[in-house]
């Protein structure tokens, strides 16, 4: 009996995907529940597993774009695995025999992010100790190994500078097809620019109070909750309070109707090797600082490891993006459609400012609110941004909800 392996339906808007990697080879014996391949769509990367045990016959190559419902492999259940006793004898001999010099034990297939880092750094992932399930090497393992490899040893002499490559015959450009995620990002950004009357308003916030709060309470907060107190929880709670002051900013346009949300499901933009993803933290107004920090940390890990789900990305009413982690001084963020507004955070920089008639140096951050002017007037936009500024400069307002 043969069982077809088909591309599953992952969401209403997902019609196809690209096979990013096969974890098995054609003709391999697989067990039910064993990972078969990684499928990359325009939203997520998911792992497909075998439904039955048997010998697999692969019908689609790595990199092929396949539609939902397409047959990419067949598992022959009649092809039984080798008898247990016969298979155990070679295994026992292999266990007893000493490993050959330089031989590395077989490891599970590496995910796409690990293979990409291996290609960029030249580091063999088989030489890296894996901390993932079943000994799999994760992206974090590779990043640590690459960083360690770049650090020179105490007695290591600096290598002579390599000669410049010859211009003749050198590759001057590379060409590759857009991934589904990058293609979707491109389409959504262009759509946002073309369909919304987008406008951006700016303000700046003195970060002194938040920085002092973190410095004073960081140790106790981390010990109590097991997670560090970051800036994002302050801004998330400040955004919730500002949305209450300016409800129009928490609205979306659907046809000729305006939908105003009374929940505060905030999308937090996360940068990944495959592009920007925006997982949603639900009901932020009802969550503590620790709960918000914990969810953001968990979503960031899932996004970077390719384990984010469609449900994690849907249903947001407002988005926060932090370009400051990359050193951005000022920018105009693009709307995350169908949402009508997005807050951009930027790098903290000490600048001279006037306080009570005196020029003092304070850690300042520029804030940018991009919004759809069809729904949100300047009054609501400025009201929102001023409310965020006030809450950040006086965090006690978040506790008192004023």
**Do 19 and 71 touch, CB atoms closer than 8 A?**
no
Q: Cα 332 vs. chain centroid, distance in angstroms?
A: 21
**Do 262 and 244 touch, CB atoms closer than 8 A?**
no
Active site residues: 373, 377
For 21, phi and psi rounded to 5 degrees? Answer: -165, 145
Q: Which residues contact 233 (CB under 8 A, 6 or more apart)?
A: 289, 290, 292, 293, 296
Question: Would you give the end-to-end CA distance of the chain in angstroms?
Answer: 68
Q: Give CA–CA dist 233/228, Å, rounded.
A: 10
Q: Tell me whether residue 19 is exposed, middle or buried, using C-beta atoms within 10 angstroms of its C-beta: 0 to 12, 13 to 18, 19 or more.
A: buried
Q: Which residues pair with 21 in a beta bridge?
A: 38
- The closest alpha carbon to 345, from 250, 260, 266, 262, belongs to 266
Q: Tell me whether residue 33 is exposed, middle or buried, using C-beta atoms within 10 angstroms of its C-beta: 0 to 12, 13 to 18, 19 or more.
A: exposed
According to DSSP, the β-strands at 318-322 and 341-345 are parallel
- The closest alpha carbon to 110, from 79, 81, 145, belongs to 145
**Do 56 and 79 touch, CB atoms closer than 8 A?**
no
């Amino acid at each position: 009996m043969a069982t077809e392996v088909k591309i599953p339906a992952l969401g209403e808007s997902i019609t196809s995907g690209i096979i990013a990697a096969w974890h098995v080879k054609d003709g391999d014996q697989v067990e039910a529940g064993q990972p078969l391949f990684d499928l990359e769509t325009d939203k997520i990367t998911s792992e497909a597993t075998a439904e039955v045990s048997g010998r697999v016959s692969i019908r689609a190559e790595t990199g092929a774009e396949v539609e939902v419902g397409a047959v990419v492999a067949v598992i022959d259940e009649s092809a039984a695995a080798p008898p247990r006793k016969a298979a155990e004898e070679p295994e026992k001999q292999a266990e007893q025999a000493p490993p050959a010099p330089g031989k590395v034990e077989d490891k599970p297939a590496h995910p796409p992010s690990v293979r990409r880092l291996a290609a960029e750094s030249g580091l063999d992932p088989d030489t890296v100790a894996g901390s993932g399930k079943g000994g799999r090497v994760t992206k974090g393992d590779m990043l640590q190994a690459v960083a360690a490899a770049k650090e020179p040893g105490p007695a290591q002499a600096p290598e002579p500078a390599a000669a410049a490559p010859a211009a003749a015959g050198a590759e001057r450009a590379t060409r590759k097809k857009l991934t589904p995620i990058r293609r979707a990002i491109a389409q959504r950004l262009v759509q946002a620019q073309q369909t919304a009357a987008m406008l951006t308003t700016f303000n700046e916030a003195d970060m002194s109070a938040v920085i002092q709060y973190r410095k004073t309470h960081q140790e106790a907060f981390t010990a109590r909750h097991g997670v560090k107190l970051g800036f994002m929880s302050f801004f998330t709670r400040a955004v919730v309070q500002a949305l209450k002051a300016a409800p129009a900013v928490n609205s979306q346009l659907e046809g000729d109707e305006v939908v105003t949300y009374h929940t505060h499901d905030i999308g937090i933009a996360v940068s990944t090797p495959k592009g920007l993803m925006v997982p949603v933290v639900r009901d932020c107004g009802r969550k503590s600082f620790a709960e918000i920090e914990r969810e953001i940390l968990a979503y960031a890990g899932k996004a970077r490891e390719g384990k984010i789900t469609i449900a994690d990305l849907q249903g947001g009413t407002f988005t926060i993006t932090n370009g400051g982690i990359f050193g951005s001084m000022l920018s105009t963020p693009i709307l995350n459609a169908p949402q009508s507004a997005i807050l951009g955070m930027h790098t903290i920089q000490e600048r001279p400012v006037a306080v009570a008639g005196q020029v003092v140096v304070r850690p300042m951050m520029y804030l940018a609110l991009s919004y759809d002017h069809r729904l949100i007037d300047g009054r609501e936009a400025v009201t929102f941004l001023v409310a965020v500024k006030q809450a950040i400069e006086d965090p006690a307002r978040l506790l008192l909800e004023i």
